[in-house]
Structures are given as C-alpha cells and as structure tokens.
Structure 1
Amino acid sequence: MATYDKGILGGFSGKVGSVIGTRWRGKNVMRSLPAPSNKVPTTAQVEQRLRFAAAVRFLNPIKSVVSRYFGSNQQDKSIYNLATSYFIREVVIPDGSGGFTIDYPRVLISKGDLQSLANPAAAPAAGEQITLTWEDNSGQGFAQADDLLIAIGYVESLNRALIFNDGIQRDATTDTLQFPAYLAGMEVQLYATFVTADEKEAATSVYLGAVTLI
C-alpha cells in the first residue's frame, strides 16, 4: 500500500487497471488488487457479512435521510457509515433460522440533540392514510416552532420506504401521511423526527409502531 498527496491524476477512488485508489485515515491511498482467496470464511466472517447485508438492505431505501441526519462525520467515517455500524451492532438480530432480520423498535433514522416528538401517536385512516399527532414542545431544549417533521414508513414485504418531508412544522401538532393505494392492507413500520428549519440539526427519531393501512 502506498500513500500520495498529489500525483499526475490527483486523488481518485475506485479501480484503475490493477490499482485501487481510496481514502484511508485522511490520506489518499493506492493499493494493488487483492489476490483471489480460496480460504473458507469463518463462522464469524459469515455472520458479519449477513449482518451487513441485512443492515444495508434496510438502509438503502432511506439513505437520503440517514446520510444527512445520523449525527456528524467522525474522522474518515461518513454519516452513512456511522448509521451502518449502528445498525449492524444494535438493530440487526438473528431471525431464528440462521439468518438475520431488523429489530424495528431499535431503528433510528436520525440522531441529534434537537428535541424530538412529544407524546406522538399514529392511527390508520381510510384511504391508505396514517394520521400522526404530537404535542407542541417548542421552547424545550433547542426545539423551535418552525422545526420540520420528517416521517418514514417502511414496508418490509416490499423493502420499500416512503419518506414524508412536506414542510410540516412542530407547532402544527398533526400531519396526514398519504400512502399509495396499492399498499392497502399492508403493515407499515413508522418513524418520525424533527430537523431545524435550515436542516442543519436533527433530533433522535422515535418509533411509532407498526400500522396496517386501511
């Protein structure tokens, strides 16, 4: 492995011929392609790969949210990397049949110091809607009346997430989430959080439970 500051091409990421360029601990790094391995992976390696796959499968549909609001960068770890690490460590659990699944109550879609939803509740309404309510806790901590709601509904059977970011403010105390008609009868895992009006700070999200659309 070699490090470099400024080559004739500058820093690069990815494979060029037999060389891979990347960033490692704040430095540009070049290394050769790894040789194929015939080693059988250990049980721990297999488990880690399965955990990673389960985490990424859930995170990919909501990447636009977690990559912005899941804390802040730490050295060379991106916000999305931090979210992935958290999911592998805290959210992915054995499914009882040799694989891994998501523990939905442990899921976070954001992490931060902003005040989150106070006494939230979610209820299904006719026409594939979910009515979301909360109390106005403006003035508590860093909470402001114009903080913006972000809600996510995740449908496990389709591995699909619907993101609601419609400019609803904290002091509105209610929002109606409209889901597509083809999701009628399906179960939705629901999460919500607040971000500041400038979208620079976020709260730690809350889990609102599983809601079946009607």
Structure 2
Amino acid sequence: MGRIRNGANGGFKGKAGSVIGSSWKSINYIKGLYKKRSKPASEEQLMQQAKFSLITAFLFPIKALLRIGYGLKRANTNTGMNMALKANINEAVVGTYPNYMLDYSKIKLSAGGLFTAGSEAISRTGTELTVTWNTTVNAVSGNTDDSVYLLVYHPASEQFLTTDVVPLRSDGEAAINIPAHITSGEGHAWIFYAERKAKEVSKSIYLGTVSFD
C-alpha cells in the first residue's frame, strides 16, 4: 500500500495500483510497475547494453573517487557514478559491436573548472611509480593545499593503484607502490586536482601508459 506524504498533494512511498512511489535526494518519483519484455531486444538496444556493461565494470570499483571528480555536477539529482557514466559511455567505449573495448586515453575521471598544474608526468623506478607536476600557483591557478588525485589501472589484473595518502599541489610529486604480483604489461594513469573541501575540481588528465615489464 502506498503512503501519502505531506497531504493529498504530496509524494507517496510504496505501491499503489500499477505505480510505485519513491523519493531520492528529496525528489519524489512515481514510476510504473516493471513489465516483462514480450519481444527480444533490438540490436541497437543490445549495443547500448554492451557499452553500458563495459564502462560500468570499469568505473564501479572507483565510485568513491568519482564522487569527488563529478560530485559538483548536478549533485542534487545525480550521483558521481551516474555523471561519469554519461561522460564516458559514448567517448571512451570504442570498436564495433559486440567487440567493444575501452579507449583509456578518452576516459574522464572528473569535470570542473579548477586549473591543472601543468608538466604532469609519470615514470617508474623499480617497484615504484612517481608522478610529478608543477607547483607554481597564482591568483587563478589554484592553491598550494589543493588535493591531487592519482589513479593507475593495470588491465591485465583489472587492478587500480593509487597513493597511500592524497598528496597536495605543493608537494610536486607523489609515489605509488607497485604490488609484487604485477610484473608485466602496462598501466594507464590519470590525475586531477580538487580544492581542499572539494568545492572545485579540475578536469582529469590522462598521463599515458607506464610499463611494468
């Protein structure tokens, strides 16, 4: 049975006849009951489902990071994960159905107007990755205490790597430890910046690949 909130003109929660009422982020929704599909999905629908599954599988493990990277974009009606899906599904998923793949260079982990630092680069020495960036700041380029978020993905093991502690813009560099079991293949790296309270973020930068061989 549905429960009406705030009088007859308010939203309701639960099932009422052929509709279901719910609320998310203080917004009331009404939707029809699910109807079992009576005909097979079209090829276009299958293509979109395949794209969605591929990009979701990549983004889901880092949804906490996406809450920072996309947390300011329509945060009252969408989650960071939803915004990241919308930003990446048509750009980062490439190839021909059913053989879709990810173009890692086109994946965006954040969106915003905060200035990046410049001179971002990644290198490897032994069992450690080092990411460096410019520390110069001025009235429009950010603050010394901006957080710097780093991410490395190793497709062969489907594992994400990052720093133990979130570095600051003023640090100029940060190290990422390579797990002992990762001894071959390559990784893909990204960086983005966020104001100390994450009220402003930058666009993410793809740093390229790094070899683990």
Secondary structure of the structure 2 residue equivalent to 1:152: strand
- Distance in 1 (CA, whole Å) between partners of 2:164 and 2:137 is 19
Deviation, structure 1 residue 112: 1.1
Contact 1:137 1:143 in 2 (8 A): no
Q: Give the corresponding residue for 2:157.
A: 158
Q: Which region of structure 1 is more displaced relative to structure 2, 70-79 or 154-163?
A: 70-79
Q: Give the corresponding residue for 2:67.
A: 67
- TM (norm. structure 1) is 0.83
- Distance in 2 (CA, whole Å) between partners of 1:102 and 1:195 is 26
- CA 194–24 in structure 1, closer or farther in 2 if over 3 Å, else same: closer
Contact 2:162 2:176 in 1 (8 A): no
Bigger proportion of residues as helix: 1
Q: How many residues align?
A: 208
Equivalent residues in 2 for 1:142-181 (5 A)? Answer: 142-164=141-163, 166-181=165-180
> What 5-or-longer segments of structure 2 have no aligned partner?
none
> What 5-or-longer segments of structure 1 have no aligned partner?
none
Secondary structure of the structure 1 residue equivalent to 2:119: strand
Over residues 123-162 of structure 1, what are the superposed CA-to-partner deviations in whole Å (9 max), with x where a residue is unaligned?
11102x1111111131162411111111011121232222
- TM (norm. structure 2) is 0.83
- Distance in 1 (CA, whole Å) between partners of 2:25 and 2:195 is 31
Deviation, structure 1 residue 213: 2.3
CA RMSD between the two structures: 3.0
- Distance in 2 (CA, whole Å) between partners of 1:145 and 1:82 is 28
Q: Give the corresponding residue for 1:76.
A: 77
- Distance in 2 (CA, whole Å) between partners of 1:92 and 1:126 is 32
Secondary structure of the structure 2 residue equivalent to 1:130: strand
Q: Give the corresponding residue for 2:36.
A: 36
